[in-house]
Structure 1
Amino acid sequence: MSAAAASSGSRWNLTNRNIVVTGASKGIGLATSQVAASLGANVILVARSSDDLAAAIASLPPDSQSRCTPCACDLSTDDGRAVLVSQAQATFGGILHGVVNNAGTNVRKTILEQTDDEYSAIVSLNQHAIYRLCQLLQPMLARGSAARGNPELFGASVVNVGSAAGVGSTGSGAAYGMTKAAIAHLSKILACEWAQHRIRVNCVAPWVTLTPLLEAALEKNPNSLEKAEARTPMRRAAKPEEIADAVVFLLMDASSYVTGQVLSVDGGLSANHVAGPTVEP
């Protein structure tokens, strides 16, 4: 293999990169952890339940399991975030190359139906936790980027998992959509603030994806998936791995000139202005 070919190939893997993935015990987070580990990354999988994390890691191929470390904590709390920071310090020596802020929650209600407790829970995890984790983990990302040596290389990457609900109204509820719009804009701001530290920041905005969060919504509104798919040009929901592939692309050097972007991975929904994007509640 030529030197040029080898260099090109190295841009499409994550060998020896240290990555944190939140909301990693299922759905998009688990799929992202699997893809990242399969490409050579060392991954800390973060979720509330230690049992769920153990099951998630056990579901991965044996060679990927050896690269994965569980971290059970509640990221909506200061104490929980401190646990993750401590785990990253202990596991990676305080050197990070990537963070995937995927953990999120929703109670799909209109603004007049949403309770104060539901609103607080959505904002705490979907918005405040991501804001604080970016603050807390930035020094480790800066060290990770610097450790890679090349002064032209943006050697660390943050990917915030947003939603089509943060791009336009999707019937997912005002609180949820508001928080997803906030982290999309946060991604743009941090991309500019952190360019000096050679850290890229992007947001992936999925549409309906076959995850446990969607399953919970379908229990209350069984027809919503059919309606959503009818309004989607590709006429189907996404698989978790289809979102994970986009996330992992943004972690790799193959996307080295991409920062401050909101990548809609939505089966064409955001392009479908004629039919309209709104999913009826």
Structure 2
Amino acid sequence: MRSRPPVVTWAVLALGALLVLAPIWFTFVFATHQRNSIFNVPPPLGFGDAAGLNFELLLAALPFWRNLAISLYVATLTTVLNLVLCSAAGYAFALLQFRGRDKLFTVVLGTMMVPSFLNMIPSFMVMQWLGWLDQPRALYVPAGCGALGVFLMRQAALQAVPRELLAAARMDGAGEWRTFWSVVLPLLRPALGTLALITFIASWNNFMAPLVVMRSVENYTLPLALRAMQSPNNTEWGALMLGSALALLPLLIVYLFSARKLVAGIAAGAVK
């Protein structure tokens, strides 16, 4: 079978990259233009001089820095909780023997099949009963351990942790916690990096959960706060684009520092 010419391959890759990067580029470009010029035909392709004005409008419309801080707080705690709890659960499901292990793991995987919108009303009722409405803990505690993370860490533990190494650690007198912390976790670093990136991005972009449990603009996360800026008649699109551009920056930074871990984690899961 003849392989495709390199020119065709590069053309397809360039087109795909253009489709992915164009929305990001226009977000940063529109953040520097006023509302009227954004809707020109053709739209502006270069940066303008209205970034300062848009920034003033953004701060006048929202407590933006507080919303940003809450998003960082929730996303960071959600990520840390998932790294700790999912890695511990994955280790238990992969390398420990206990009654009903496989059936319990099947139940965990089954929760991935439940549509997320079905959890909205029960989640609201539980948060109301606990008195956590309009508090960040109502976001990061329920999301602190996910079935996808447990599955990812279990598969990584099965492939990356030799049983002989665990037996040697136990012969040396290490308990389960010591074995998990000193032997297992270092071998799971690529998978932990992958899980951290996936969890942080999912938490940062989460819209439905804050919409259900948050009540005051001061406690909104960024996606919900930026949505609150929109109105049918008078939306400051330049300020909204500036807020979106600023919201993109933490994701880009996290991705730049975690890209290699993501690729290594995926590669580790592809081979045994």
The answer to whether the superposition gives a TM-score over 0.5 is no
Normalized against structure 2, the TM-score is what? Answer: 0.29
Q: Comparing both chains, which one has the higher relative contact order based on Cα–Cα distances under 8 Å and sequence gaps of 6 or more? A: 2
Which one has a bigger Cα radius of gyration?
Answer: 2
Instruction: Decide which structure has greater strand share.
Output: 1
TM-score (structure 1 length as normaliser): 0.28
